[in-house]
Amino acid sequence: MRTFLSSVLVMLICSSFSSPSAFCATPDVNPFFAPYSTPFETPPFDRIRPEHYMPAYQKAMEEQKREIQVITMVRSAPTFENTIVTLDRSGELLQRVSGVFGALRGAITNDQLDSIATIATPLLTAHRNDIVLNAQLFARIKAVYDMRSKLSLTPEQAMLLDNTYKDFVRGGANLSEPDKQRLRNINDELSMLSLKFNQNLLKETNTYRLVVEKKEDLDGLPQDVIDAASEAARKAKLDGKWVFTLQKPSWIPFLQYAKNRALRETLYKAYCNRGDNNNAFDNKAISSRIAALRVARANLLGYPTHAAYVLEENMAKTPATVYEFLGRLWEPALKVAQQERDAMQAMINKEEKPFPLASWDWWYYAEKVKKADYDLDEDALRPYFKMENVRRGAFDVASRLYGLQFIERKDIPKYADDVAVFEVKGMDGAHIGIIYTDYFLRGGKRPGAWMGSLRSFGRIGDSTVTPVVYNVGNFSGPTGGKPALLSLEEVETLFHEFGHALSGLLSQRTYHNIGLPRDGIELPSQIMENWALHPDVLRSYARHYASDEPIPDALIQKIVKSERFNQGFITVEYLAASILDMDWHTLTDTTQQDAGAFEQSTFTRIRLMPEIVSRYRSPYFAHIFSGGYSSGYYSYIWAEVLDADAFEAFKENGLFDRKTAEAFRRNILERGGTEDPMVLYERFRGKKPTIEPLLKKRGLM
């Protein structure tokens, strides 16, 4: 019945559009319905059109339902193979369609894809509920789980069984029928609210622009930034003016260099008030409703809070552990941030017309302090960080550590002209996988940087499925006749996301339902940042874009000397957001909060300095309200404890020591998720991690 209703719904939706072909296509021309005839079966982006998604989603859900029905109707007794593995292998077409659609929704969305997401999201949520709340299916899973002590399973198989059973229990399989329906309703509403939150944030971010009409208002800005703003104005048909946006390549340089304090305040507040302007894109009520529904769901499933529900499956295990961990960092970070504030205030007090430092002044005066104390002008570094060279530097690190080769492929379809595609090979020349790199700003691209997967590694019998992954960023693009020249932050971000890509490329996990906990998933990415600005690595890739001269040692020493600069600010703004996340998700009742008052109570309690705004405020905290980081934003710094400790092994044994790299690859990159993450970490490191390397790295001790 549900399949029939889904079909009717799709037909009704298609017929309601003025151009139904934009959403409905005949199966015989749908590229999702046959094996891809592309190199390494990569998605044929040149042939996939919006009208292919809804028929593909519908067919994919129907296929998986039939696969589930086969499991539940088999007459033989449930076994690990005929139930757990067969379930894990189901939904191949759905994974293929969702992988492509998710990638394009993040990197190059438009009104058509937004409309498709609005249609598909409730159908996919209902489909997921149908599987997890299938009583016959759960009975077979439970039968296998109950006899687990009698089975001869590998650690990975045991983890798959445990994950599968817990997914169903935590998804409501043990609830009564009325409570299952309540859970369905909650899940349906949550999925649509999260989608709306993300759509609002993207539209508010992309529609804002600060138009500068007077040339004197550009005083202090580097020429490259002015050129980019002029180019943005030309694209907006505002010739002769300059346009600044809330995208970081535009927003951050303006705050760092613009002498016009009033305009800095205007642009800064526009960023910090996204989703909080009482307009069509306002996210305050949505964030409050999401938090309340998460409490209701957690209570229904037997947990006091959403955080307790989430953290049960993380390394941290409990909210108390997370709060205690964040608290150990908060006081030393706050102390350092206050010292940084005082240094900037002292600089302001020497000016002709002094004033109290405000949050929109921090970036500007931090840049002045950096230049005064370290003789380091970040804009002077950009010429040495041509994007292609930085990317090559990241590839070279992976080559030296793991013996990988990266060969650009021009014959593989891509979804945008400025995307590059590389085949990854091992030391022996064997194919490992494919990586797409997509680094520049684009209309329709959501803010931030991320890694995603179009296909994961897997084993089916004697054959293997090789991974296809992508890295996406919003970096400074080519402008004024110059190539893309990255900031230090963008360099580190590129290395960070490439670390995620390495985790996806080198994984040897056999099954789909095997993965790292949220607070362990950042280790492969964050450890890569240690190589990004290491002097030995910088010398290998940082070359002047015009002269090809290597970065001078004097500049390298300035970078090294300034490593702990502004770490108080960086840590405090991050920790404030992490604590806000935990406060939202340790609510114990379903009363909807006033989002503004709620977050202000958090910041008052922790004594957040007025000169620093939390890295994310509730109305634009996409990580927790439309992403997968609810009760988990702390995981970045949790993983930084691991990465700081892990990198000590490389410092002890050699920056590119193959034995150490092999141990990291074998235990972390290849096997992550197949066993308890701390067991795997200790197997690599030979001991538990300690927090001291992190405190030292950030200058907090």
H helices, E strands: number in the chain = 28, 9
State how far the alpha carbon of 453 is from the alpha carbons of 62, 165, 471, in Å: 23, 25, 9
Q: How does DSSP classify residue 148?
A: G
CA torsion angle 104 109 113 115 (round to 10): 150
Please name the amino acid found at residue 57.
Y
Residue 433 in contact with residue 457, Cβ under 8 Å? yes
Residue 332: CB atoms within 10 A of its CB come to 16
Q: How far apart are CA 575 and CA 608, in angstroms?
A: 10
- Does the active-site annotation cover 497? yes
Looking at residue 318, what DSSP letter applies?
A: S
Rg (CA), the chain: 26
Cβ-based neighbours of 157, under 8 Å, separated by 6 or more? 80
3-state secondary structure (DSSP) of residue 474: strand
Burial of 686 (0-12, 13-18, 19+ CB in 10 A): exposed
CA–CA separation, 406 and 398 (whole Å): 9
Separation between Cα atoms, residue 45 and residue 39, nearest integer Å = 12
Q: Report strand pairing: 431-440 vs 468-475.
A: parallel
229 touches 266 (CB < 8 A): no
Q: What is the DSSP secondary structure assignment for residue 243, as one 8-state letter?
A: E
Please state, as a whole number, how many other Cβ atoms lie within 10 Å of the Cβ of residue 73: 8
Residue type, 219: D
- Max CA-CA distance within the chain? 87
User: Of 378, 490, 497, 522, which one is the catalytic site residue?
Assistant: 497
- Dihedral sign for Cα 484, 489, 493, 495, please: positive
Distances (CA, A) of 574 to 106, 186, 235, 428: 23, 30, 34, 42
What are residue 386's DSSP bridge partners?
485
| CB neighbour list of residue 694: distance below 8 Å, 6 or more residues apart | 637, 640, 641, 644, 645, 700
Question: For the chain, first and last CA: distance in Å?
Answer: 63
Of 488, 525, 508, nearest in space to 390 by CA: 488
- Go through the chain and tell me how many residues it has: 701
Tokens of 487: 């900031």
Q: For residue 29, what is the enclosing H or E element?
A: none
Q: What is the DSSP letter of 211?
A: E
H-type alpha helices, 543-657 = 553-561, 567-584, 595-605, 622-625, 635-653
**What is the C-alpha separation between 81 and 419, in angstroms, rounded?**
40
Contact residues for 139 (Cβ-Cβ < 8 A; gap 6+): none
Whether 579 and 602 have beta carbons less than 8 Å apart is answered as: yes
DSSP 633-693: TTHHHHHHHHHHHHHHHHHHH-TT-HHHHHHHIIIIITTTTSS-HHHHHHHHHSS---SHH
Which tokens is 119 given? 């249609």
Residues 293/187, Cβ–Cβ less than 8 Å: no
Q: Which residues are catalytic?
A: 497
